[in-house]
Amino acid sequence: MKYKKLPAFTKTALCLALTGGMLAAAPLARADALSDLKAQIDALQKKVDELSAKQAAPAAAAPANAVTGGDIPGSFKLPGSNTSIKFGGYVKADAIFNSRSVGGTADQELEAGGIPLGSTNERNQLTMHARQTRFNMTTSTPSAMGEVKTFFEGDFFGGNLNGNEVVSNSNGLRMRHAFGSIGGLLVGQTWGTFMELASLPEVLDFGGPVGTIFVRQAQIRYTQKIADGQWAVALENPESNVAGVGPAGDDRFPDVVGRVNLKFGKVSYGFSALARQIRVDTPAIKDDKWGGAVGVSGVIPTFGKDAFRFYANYGNVLGRYVVGLYTDAAINASNKLDLSSAWLATASYQHWWDASLRSTIAVSGTRASFGQGIPGTATKSAQSVHANLIWSPVKNTDVGIEYIYGHRETEAGAIGVLNRIQTSAQYNF
């Protein structure tokens, strides 16, 4: 079949028609695509609005009898209460080997008074215990005046409870801390304000170096933050301890303590001052004297997590503030109080071998200058060295070994020396 050749004007008309059709179809295609895109955007916006509404909606109220999460990490709230409660503490087991028998302090800290004198004591004594195990409870309650906090902690260095190492190793729970606070005000029993906890070395020995300020007592303390640290003032429980009389119980004025903590970059310093009245009131002796003491402490980071720590104190009323060492005063020939002056200092360095292994070496010394009436058996000076290796194989677990050397001299010149090896395992919760 032969096709006839179209005239020129016919060809032209067909081309114009095709072109017009294509031009007309293009806007329609674009319109469809834009419509689809708009529909997709509207659908996405709807999903976003739904999610935002779910997030903004108040959470469903917990049942009235349900325990809920608290406002501080690791805490909970009991039904019907707005108080957050948190439990904590640790289990610690110690094995202690002493070169000389030290009697009742064998399972406790290396108190200077527990360093045996001479060479007549039994050699090589081993004891094992878990008395340092402790339990604590923290609470936090909101109020119109700010957060109300309480803290309680106890351990098992209380007296034996119808048991001993032959039978059940029962030991009594004793109170360590029990206080409440709101804002900067704290009332109750806790560490004395004259202490600086940050400067204490990490040692396995429960009591730490012999030259340590160590006291927990009832107090009223106010703490105020400042630009580079904080200051605190406190009125604390008084207790005069007089040689030949003992804890007198005749006190009239609280111990007055002030402390300032400052930070310069990563370095921190502390300065403290203490004023006390020492008083005795017996049928034969009636006297009182005021005295004071000062202290300085610091933590100086060095390389990585390593740090150098130190503290030093001097005064004539340190007495019972120096754990297991001195009385506050003695009675002279005129039946008057003679206060005892003393200084003490500790320096320590902690080195981290890696993220889980660390060591601390601590050197400490103290010496007293007594007035009249002090017995010859009173400790005049003492020194100690602690060196340890502590490993944390997993989180919240420490195992370690420590060597401890102790030396003391009495007012009469008697010398005592003790070497101790202590191993410990501690599990925090």
* DSSP letters spanning 381-428: EEEEEEEEEEE-SSTTEEEEEEEEEEEEEETT--EEEEEEEEEEEEEE
Q: What is the pLDDT of residue 105?
A: 53
pTM of the model: 0.82
Distance CA(385)–CA(224), nearest Å, equals 36
How sure is the predictor about 16, in pLDDT bands with cuts at 50, 70 and 90? Answer: very low
52 within some domain: no
12 within some domain: no
60 within some domain: no
Q: How many distinct structural domains can be found in the chain? A: 1
Q: Check whether 237 has a pLDDT greater than 90.
A: yes
How sure is the predictor about 331, in pLDDT bands with cuts at 50, 70 and 90? Answer: very high
106 within some domain: yes
Residue range of the domain that includes 133: 68-428
21 within some domain: no
Quick: pLDDT tens for 203-236.
999 989 998 999 999 999 999 999 999 999 999 9
Distance CA(150)–CA(137), nearest Å, equals 8
What DSSP letter does each residue of 134-154 carry, written as one string? EEEEEEEE--TTS-EEEEEEE
For residue 118 the two structure tokens come to 């001479």
15 within some domain: no
How sure is the predictor about 362, in pLDDT bands with cuts at 50, 70 and 90? Answer: very high
Q: Check whether 10 has a pLDDT greater than 80.
A: no
49 within some domain: no
Quick: pLDDT tens for 51-106.
777 666 565 666 777 888 989 999 999 888 999 999 999 999 999 999 887 655 55
Task: Please check whether residue 75 is in contact with residue 69, taking contact to mean a CB–CB distance below 8 angstroms.
Answer: yes
CA 392 to chain centre: 18
Mean predicted confidence (pLDDT) in 116-138 = 87
What DSSP letter does each residue of 169-205 carry, written as one string? --B--EEEEEEEEETTEEEEEEE-TT--GGGS---SS
Quick: pLDDT tens for 78-87.
888 999 999 9
Sort 235 into a burial class: Cβ within 10 Å, 0-12 / 13-18 / 19+: middle
Distance CA(157)–CA(37), nearest Å, equals 76
We report the CATH number of the domain holding residue 298 as: 2.40.160.10
> Distance from first CA to last CA of the chain, Å, rounded?
101
Nearest to 274 by CA among 321, 231, 240, 241: 321
For residue 31 the two structure tokens come to 């319109």
Q: Check whether 416 has a pLDDT greater than 50.
A: yes
26 within some domain: no
For residue 66 the two structure tokens come to 């349900």
Residue 32 has φ and ψ, to the nearest 5°, of -65, -45
Give the mean pLDDT of the chain.
87
Q: Check whether 413 has a pLDDT greater than 70.
A: yes
Q: Round the CA-based radius of gyration of the chain to a whole number and report it.
A: 36
Nearest to 254 by CA among 287, 221, 230, 212: 221
Task: Please check whether residue 379 is in contact with residue 366, taking contact to mean a CB–CB distance below 8 angstroms.
Answer: no
